Structure 1
């Protein structure tokens, strides 16, 4: 009988991402609904990443390059929809980020406890 650990191992050993259909071909005894539930558990446990949607949805392991070193908020910490949007934006791959110019004088002109970025009302 197939286990969730065997499913995770198959995803980790796949050369590329693997679809649900391919998983069911590897494990013909595995019920489709059980496989979907296990995949959701692995995603929620930050073991794998889902890419795409619908029939084209594929799964791959969470690797060093995929952001495993980032802070991951557990599901039991409630976050607003805006907070989740911000996290999704921050967690996007570097290729999707837009470069922003940097003005070194902004940092050089700063004098601790003398100059301030925020207005006095906002600081209070």
Structure 2
């Protein structure tokens, strides 16, 4: 943020917290929101780290505390695609399309929030 905005808020009698809330946060809000949404989009697409850390199993389980039975969409595609044939290949391609759609929706929401907040932030 411009230092003049911070100094002006303090000169007008604002406390440090009021200065942060009034002068600093409006400038950084869109950046914080876009960074968190970008991180969320990155986490949705993470594949190999999940495969190596969780030792993904081929079976499905609703019990999230059961060891060796966890999988993400991307890890499922990475592990099962080499030996899939026929309808299984089509199912894996459909799950990849679903992952793409989810990531696109998250990024579109982030862009919408950032563009909506950019006009109020004072940063161009």
Give your verdict on TM over 0.5: no
TM-score by length of 1: 0.27
- Structure having the larger proportion of residues in helix: 2
TM-score by length of 2: 0.27
